Structure 1
Amino acid sequence: MINIFEVNETNKMIEKENLDVRTITLGISLLDCVDSDLSRVNEKIYRKITHAAKNLVQVGEEISREYGIPIVNKRISVTPIALIGGAACKTPADFATIADTLDKAAHEVGVNFIGGYSALVSKGMTSADELLIRSIPMALARTERVCSSVNLGSTKTGINMDAVKLMGEIILEAAEYTKETDSSGCTKLVVFCNAPDDNPFMAGAFHGVTEADQIINVGVSGPGVVKTALEKVRGESFEVLCETIKKTAFKVTRVGQLVAKEASRRLGIPFGIVDLSLAPTPAIGDSVADILCEIGLEYAGAPGTTAALALLNDQVKKGGVMASSYVGGLSGAFIPVSEDQGMIDAVSAGALTLEKLEAMTCVCSVGLDMIAIPGDTKATTISGIIADEMAIGMVNQKTTAVRLIPVIGKTVGDHAEFGGLLGHAPIMPVNQFDCSAFVNRGGRIPAPIHSFKN
């Protein structure tokens, strides 16, 4: 049971340290919406989502009011649409009509985002997968709340380099489609290695085929809480530092567990997982980079950054798993550039480069996230960056991801504005040496030797 001391402590975290529940995400299986007729597919999808999620926003707001816990977003994730539309969709434009339906349903029930305009192609692409992928730029440009993801590799299967090459082209095309808004379409598109089935965070959320018909997943976030706790042990040993992070992560996860259980009870939908990721925002005092500075770095990106991030990520997981029986999703520290003012400051100071961020992704929860790059970056260069990140995930048996934003018409020294939780970002330089001969080889990078577990 949560006692009065914990309640008072939690209230302080909420009022002064930016603690929030970042999202309640309702996962919905659309497998029963498969049909050979496209109009019936769209009708079934709209009907199922609007029925299943009709009370989601209301319940989230009620819990927030009653417990005094900010719940920033209410979201939906659905079964990867490449699986659902395959029988009915014959062109990319056909798939885009499903994106329209998802967006319409999201508006109807009032959620912030809906994820699952996705394809899983780590070993190969079906014709449906390729059609969906080619529809992504069109779909993201004409919808407001739809998020898209593509899983390109895994430890078990290797990396689908044909899909990696294609996604470099698709990301550039999505940037071009939305160039009037600083290529904002790319902020809703992420590529993965080892994508989890139960991630509640956007843009990568989808409802995996191993999940129940409906499920409630909650994502908590508290970088400001961790930083405030570490201020009290400044100069202490690593043992004290680690214990402090673990205890703080435990408290943050307890809040998520409470909200998840209550949302599950009120909606009559099973509780899935709590994702205990430290997800920053552009707000001052809500930064993962600031935690790294509190650990002892002048800026994120200074020597020692990867070690500090590894420590932080591990202690967050250790503390969180003691607070909830079902921890899942990504769970750890996110390092998006545009969504973290400390990261933006580090880039602006010259302390943080794309190469250092890549090194940091070896030990963090996600990968190269919300990074704005010059709009004239070649598609093969983007594919090369993706391939590097997929390799890190594959070899280290962890989730990695890439969300790059080539901002059309802008270059290094310029700034991109995305607004809200997506923030703003300086345009970062990209290595200009060519990798096209590598990217254009075609085929698959095989799984590493340690993937053979059977």
Structure 2
Amino acid sequence: MINISEVLETNNMIEKENLDVRTITMGISLLDCADSDLDKVNEKIYDKITTKAKDLLKVGQEIEREYGIPIVNKRISITPISLVGANACKEPKDYVSIAKTLDQAAKTVGVNFIGGYSALVSKGMTKSEEYLIRSIPEAMSVTERVCSSVNLGSTKTGINMDAVRLMGDIILDTAELTKENDSLGCAKLVVFCNAPDDNPFMAGAFHGVTEADCIINVGVSGPGVVKTALEKAKGADFGTLCETIKKTAFKITRVGQLVAQEASKRLNVPFGIVDLSLAPTPAIGDSIAEIFEVMGLEKAGAPGTTAALALLNDQVKKGGVMASSYVGGLSGAFIPVSEDQSMIDAVQAGALTLEKLEAMTCVCSVGLDMIAIPGDTKATTISGIIADEMAIGMVNQKTTAVRIIPVIGKNVGDMAQFGGLLGYAPIMPVNSFDCAEFVNRGGRIPAPIHSFKN
């Protein structure tokens, strides 16, 4: 059982070390909203979301007040819309109408984001799934709170290279349609390999078909807490370093477990999982890169960075799983460039490159995240970057993702401004050697040999 004394123990973390619950995310199944009539689909979707989530914001605010725990975001994840709209949507613009309905429902209940404008195409695409994917640029440009994701590969199925190639064009088109805001639409769009069904974090959240009708998932965060704890272990050996991270992750996760249980009880919705990812913010001190510096690296990207991230990720998971019976989602350490001030500093200092970030994704929670690149980058180059990241996830049996932002009209050395938790990012150079012939081959990269485990 969790009691108030455990929460009081974290007061200093909250007040001085940027500890927060990053999100309460209500997962809602929309499978029962499917219909052959598009108007009825939209009506059912709006009614179900606004009914199920009507008290989500209020309950989140009540828990914040009563326990003194900041809950930064209240969000909703839904069944991948390509499944819900398959029978009614006959062209991309039909899906855009659903995106507008989702946006309106999110505004009605007061959540920050709604995730699940998604398609799962790791082995192949139906015509309807292709319509959804082709609708993404317009959908991201005409909505404020809708987030989109596409799962392009898995360890079990391999990588759908037709979809990878298509997503290069879709990302560029999304950037072009939102160029007045530094191509912000791409910050709401992510592609995955091995996407989890229960991720509460945006932009990749969706409510998987294996989930119950409605659940509560919570995502915690606390890079600043881990950094402060490690400062007290300066000069200690790796064993001490690991123990310090593990114990700190345990305390952070207990806070998330408390919030999840309270939200579940008050909303009368089953508790799903706690995602114990360390998610940085632009706030000074709330940084994964600063953890590396406390560990002994001059800057993120220095030799040893991948080893430091592997250690951090593993110990966060080990501490977290002892604190909650139901840990899920992504869980580990995020490395988004734009949302971490010290990562930005490392890029500007020349310590951190796109290639080093790719190496780090072999051991982090997700992948290439919130990376701004020149707006004139070719679609095939973006597809090549995606293919590399999907391959890392497929072969290593882990979730990997790409959230990359070609900022139209900007080049290396310029700065892109995204605002809020999304922060800002320097435009990073991209390898300019051509990969078009490779990504244009079409078909599917097969699953690795170790996928055959039946």
TM-score scaled to structure 2, two decimals?
Answer: 0.99
Residue aligning to 1:205: 205
**CA offset digits 1:54-97 (Å, max 9, x no partner):** 00000000000000000000000000000000100111100000
Cα RMSD of the aligned pairs, angstroms, is 0.7
How far apart are 1:281 and its partner, in Å? 0.3
Determine the C-alpha separation between the residues in 2 that align with 1:252 and 1:219.
11
Pairing of 1:186-265 with structure 2 (within 5 A): 186-265=186-265
Task: Render the CA deviation track for 1:238-283: whole Å, top value 9, x for unaligned.
Answer: 0000000000000000000000000000000000000000000000
Corresponding residue of 2:81: 81
Return the alpha-carbon distance in structure 1 between the equivalents of residues 326 and 110 of structure 2: 27
Letter in 2 for 1:94: D
In the other structure, the counterpart of 2:125 is 125
- Gaps (5+ residues) in structure 2? none
What corresponds to 1:294 in structure 2?
A: 294
Deviations for 1:12-37, whole angstroms, at most 9, x for unmatched residues? 00000000000000000000000000
In the other structure, the counterpart of 2:395 is 395
- Aligned-partner Cα distance in 1 for 2:397–2:32: 32
User: Superposition pairs for residues 168-183 of structure 1, below 5 Å?
Assistant: 168-183=168-183
* Residue 439 (str. 1) matches residue 439 (str. 2): yes
SS at 2:285 equivalent? coil
Q: Which residue number corresponds to residue 334 of structure 2?
A: 334
Counterpart of 1:122 in structure 2: which amino acid? S
For the residue of structure 2 that corresponds to 1:172, the secondary structure is helix
Distance in 2, matches of 1:250 and 1:8, equals 15
Cα distance in 1 for partners of 2:398, 2:5 equals 37
Q: 2:30 aligned with 1:15, yes or no?
A: no
SS at match of 2:152: strand
Equivalent position of 2:6 in the other structure: 6
- Secondary structure, in 3 states, of the residue corresponding to 2:453? coil
* Count of aligned pairs between the two proteins: 454
Alpha-carbon contact 2:7-2:255 (below 8 Å) kept: no
Q: Secondary structure, in 3 states, of the residue corresponding to 2:90?
A: coil
Cα distance, 1:120 vs structure 2: 0.1
1:121-160 equivalences in 2 (<5 Å): 121-160=121-160
SS at 1:389 equivalent: helix
Q: Does 1:53 align with 2:30?
A: no
Partner letter of residue 62 of structure 2?
A: E
| Secondary structure of residue in 1 paired with 2:24 | strand
The one-letter amino acid of 2:305's match is T
Query: Aligned-pair distance for 1:8?
Result: 3.3
Please give the secondary structure, in 2, of the residue aligned with 1:88. Answer: coil
1:379 equivalent to 2:367? Answer no
- Aligned residue number for residue 323 of structure 1: 323
Residues 265-315 of structure 1 deviation map (CA, whole Å, 9 limit, x = unaligned) = 000000000000000000001000100111110000000000000000000
Provide the residue aligned with 1:412 in structure 2: 412
Q: Which residue of 1 aligns with 2:449?
A: 449
Q: Please give the alpha-carbon distance, in whole angstroms, between the structure 1 residues aligned to 2:219 and 2:277.
A: 7
1:396-425 per-residue CA deviation (whole Å, 9 max, x = no partner) reads 000000000000000001000000000000
- Offset at 1:365? 0.2
Taking the aligned partners of 2:237 and 2:322, their CA distance within structure 1 comes to 23
Which one-letter code corresponds to 2:289 in the other structure?
A
Q: Counterparts of 1:281 and 1:134 in 2: how far apart (Å)?
A: 31
Aligned to 1:102: 102
Amino acid of the structure 1 residue aligned with 2:61: E
Aligned identity (percent) is 84
Q: Report how far residue 3 of structure 1 moved.
A: 5.8
For 1:80, give the aligned amino acid.
P
How much has 1:4 moved relative to structure 2?
A: 6.4
- Counterpart position of 1:30: 30
Asked whether the 8 Å contact 2:292–2:308 carries over to 1, the reply is: yes
> Does the CA-based 8 Å contact 2:141-2:178 persist in structure 1?
yes
Distance 2:128 2:114 in 1: 20
Counterpart residue number, 1:427: 427
Residues of 2 paired with 1:4 and 1:271: CA distance?
A: 19
Q: Give the counterpart letter for 1:169 in structure 2.
A: D
C-alpha displacement of 1:371: 0.1
Runs of 4+ in 1 over 3 A off after TM superposition: 1-8
Cα offset, 1:7, TM superposition: 3.3
Shift in alpha-carbon separation, 1:107–1:247, aligned structure 2, 3 A: same
Work out the CA distance in 1 between the residues paired with 2:405 and 2:41. 32
CA distance in 2: counterparts of 1:89 and 1:8, whole angstroms: 51
